[in-house]
Amino acid sequence: MRQNPSPRPDQGPPSGGRRRGPGLRLWVLLLFAGYGIYYWVSNQTDDPVTGQRVLIDRSLSVDDEKALGLQAYEEILSQERPVDPATPVAQEIRGIADRLIAKVDDVEAALASEHGMQPTRFSESFDWEVNVIDSQEANAFCLPGGKMAVYTGLVPVAQNEDALAVVMGHEIAHALLRHGAQRMAQQRLSQVGQMAGALSGMDPQQQQMVMAAMGYGYLLPYARKHETEADEVGLMLAAAACFDPQEAIPLWERMGEASGGQAPPEFSSTHPNPGTRIQNLQALMPKAMAYRERFCEEAM
């Protein structure tokens, strides 16, 4: 077969034909970069609780987020073994959750005012619910919309209500700070990057390298930042609800030992290294004690 059909008289030198490839690739990359920047800029919003500018898709309403949370919750509960709500452990967990939830508005308002802002009261429409799941895992979660679960495996590691409140406060904070919605927006951005890479003709190995670099350089630090934020807001919630925030330190030490290499996702990869986390918590302790004095009626 003939590789090069005889050139037509009006065709330029062969290199002219080849130059069209990189040109198109550049346009595709520019187009996607432009969309990525537009998406990033147009979906920035201020979080009064942390005082940070965050990326949350404006087209994702609070109701959408709640619906997603509820759907995930029902799926998890249907796959796991929820404990009878009448059992002492379920009642104890519910009691802790109720105390924490009762302080959400106060703590949000106090943290927002530290940044000179008004709280969004995003959780006003939450339908709070907590279930205990029979499992060996030392884990807990709170989904958008206020649907929470505590795994029975957490109880012996926590050892006391104060430590349970620290973990549950941390989980509630993830939902209040809309970390799930932020992760969704980041995933959207990385999908845009992935598509740009594929369409621009990057080879799969190059694409993988770029994605890995993005994971380590952007997504993982972001996830760690979320954990640090949840630690702070959760600690303030626990303190305001009259729990002892100092229990956070031995708790995370025990969590580190209990996880022994095979920690559940929530408490492993994305979490700050235990030493750093404990240092951060120690630095927050005076503030937590002040929140306890201010909001816990028993402490007065």
Instruction: Show which residues are catalytic.
Output: 171
Sheet of 129-133: strand order equals 129-133, 147-151, 140-143
Nearer to Zn ion, 161 or 231 (CB): 231
Nearer to Zn ion, 190 or 228 (CB): 228
CB of 233 to Zn ion, least distance (A): 11
Q: Give CA–CA dist 22/16, Å, rounded.
A: 11
Q: Give CA–CA dist 256/241, Å, rounded.
A: 25
Size of the site for Zn ion (CB under 5 A): 2
Tokens standing for residue 247: 């229990």
Binders of Zn ion among residues 228 to 247 (CB under 5 A) are 230
Nearer to Zn ion, 32 or 126 (CB): 126
Instruction: Please count the other Cβ atoms lying within 10 Å of the Cβ belonging to residue 174.
Output: 23
133, 149 contact by CB (below 8 A): yes
CB of 270 to Zn ion, least distance (A): 7
| Of 248, 249, 230, the residue nearest 239 (C-alpha) | 248
Tokens standing for residue 180: 């799930």
Q: Give CA–CA dist 235/217, Å, rounded.
A: 28
For β-strands 129-133 and 147-151, DSSP reports them as: parallel
Per-position b or e across 139-159, b if 16+ CB within 10 A of its CB: bbbbbbbbbbbbbbbbbebbe
Question: DSSP H helical segments within 103-136, as ranges?
Answer: 104-114
CB of 33 to Zn ion, least distance (A): 32
Nearer to Zn ion, 65 or 227 (CB): 227
Read off the amino acid at residue 84: D
Nearer to Zn ion, 60 or 177 (CB): 177
Q: Which parts of this chain interact with Zn ion (CB under 5 A)?
A: 227, 230
